[in-house]
Amino acid sequence: MKSLVAYNLNSESSLTLEQREVPVPKNDEVVVEIHAAALNPLDEDVKSGYIPFAKNPPIILGNEGAGIVKSKNSKFPIGTKVIIQGNDIGVKNDGTFQENICIPIKYLIPLPKEYSFEEGAALSVSYLTAYSALDYYCNLEKISNEWIIVTGASGSVGLAALQIISALNLKPIAVVSTKVREKQLNDLGYKHIINLDIEEINEGINRITENSGVQIALDTLGGDITDKLLNSLNKKGKLICIGYKKSVNANINILTLISNSIEIIGYDIYALSDAYKTNVLNKIYYLANQGLIRPIIGDSYLLEDWFGAFNSMKSRKILGKTIFKIN
């Protein structure tokens, strides 16, 4: 079977497409024939050696995917279409960039009705990140009629957050930086958009909320955006930091932080319990089956063109997820 393997983990590392034997499952595992696997920034981080707890090479990358159950097990009949959730695959264990994978049964959920393999492959990581980051610190089920601002709203996590916020009858504000991204989100039905090429965050918030302000911010960008969000939140607001696409450094005004009693929260999915993540995935699965959320697929590649796939993801020129079509 085809497998995309990393033999070195550093900034200059390459990947090797090679033939391997189909794996044999252990007692708690099932063989899944992978039809699609999503590419995430985590894969680039592992490949570049930025994840200290990653499995020593060789390692097969890929943190999520979708396919068909091919071996007998206690839960899923052979032929069941399933999603492979993230957890530690592609990080501590071999991942989804291969034609077949042995995976613990607990990491599988049925493919939502009317979902393609590509959409299923893109469901777990971005949506789990967005939902859990907001829910763990803000308890989404206990808030209503709330504005939530999302930076990097055209990225995979940002798009997932917008869909989740809308599905829960809350009010998303999308932050983008170009007219093209503004139009793309507008075409998707999002009307409350701040284009940083035209206005500042605080100006956009005041315009959209009619000066009532925002209590919750989900920041995927970092850098000076974090400081601008801090200065734009209401008293006792929550600023949840989940990414650093713009920069890992931010200039924080401590006086603003103290005088407005704002919480700045650093989110790490690996700090959450498996039980909590499973609970969140069940909620995401419910929303997916109700047709309330649906991943946006940007472009797709074969494993042979892994270099083009990684470049596409890193360029951020395409709206939606980059996918490997495998079987």
Could you tell me if 222 and 154 are in contact, meaning their C-beta atoms sit under 8 angstroms apart?
A: no
| Range 20-39 average pLDDT | 94
pTM of this structure: 0.93
φ, ψ of residue 293 to 5 degrees: the values are -135, 150
pLDDT digits (tens, 9 = 90+) for 76-135: 999 999 999 877 899 999 999 999 999 999 899 999 989 999 999 999 999 999 999 999
CA–CA separation, 28 and 274 (whole Å): 17
> What is the per-residue pLDDT for 315?
87
Q: At what angle do helices 124-138 and 156-167 cross, to 10 degrees?
A: 60
Q: Which amino acid is at 272?
A: L
DSSP code for 79: T
φ, ψ of residue 67 to 5 degrees: the values are -175, -155
φ, ψ of residue 138 to 5 degrees: the values are -125, -5
> What is the per-residue pLDDT for 269?
87
Would you say residue 299 has pLDDT above 80? yes
Per-chain mean pLDDT for the chain: 94
pLDDT digits (tens, 9 = 90+) for 216-234: 999 999 999 999 999 999 9
> What is the per-residue pLDDT for 83?
96
CA–CA separation, 13 and 35 (whole Å): 26
pLDDT digits (tens, 9 = 90+) for 166-207: 999 999 999 999 999 999 999 999 999 999 999 999 999 999
CB hemisphere CA count around 244 (13 angstroms): 9
> What is the per-residue pLDDT for 112?
95
| Distance from the first to the final alpha carbon of the chain | 10
> What is the per-residue pLDDT for 85?
85
Backbone angle region of 248, left / alpha / beta, with phi > 0 → left and psi within -120 to 50 → alpha: alpha
Would you say residue 14 has pLDDT above 90? no
The pair of three-digit structure tokens given for residue 287, joined into one six-digit string: 């929303």
User: What is the SS3 assignment for 130?
Assistant: helix
Strands (E), 86-232: 100-104, 108-110, 147-150, 171-176, 193-195, 214-219
Could you tell me if 160 and 135 are in contact, meaning their C-beta atoms sit under 8 angstroms apart?
A: no
pLDDT digits (tens, 9 = 90+) for 32-87: 999 999 999 999 999 999 999 999 999 999 999 999 999 998 899 999 999 998 77
CA–CA separation, 14 and 12 (whole Å): 7
User: Going by C-beta distance under 8 Å and a sequence separation of 6 or more, which residues neighbour residue 84?
Assistant: 32, 34, 64, 65, 66, 67, 96, 101, 103, 107, 108, 121, 124
> What is the per-residue pLDDT for 15?
93
CB hemisphere CA count around 293 (13 angstroms): 32
pLDDT digits (tens, 9 = 90+) for 263-296: 999 999 888 998 999 899 999 999 999 999 999 9
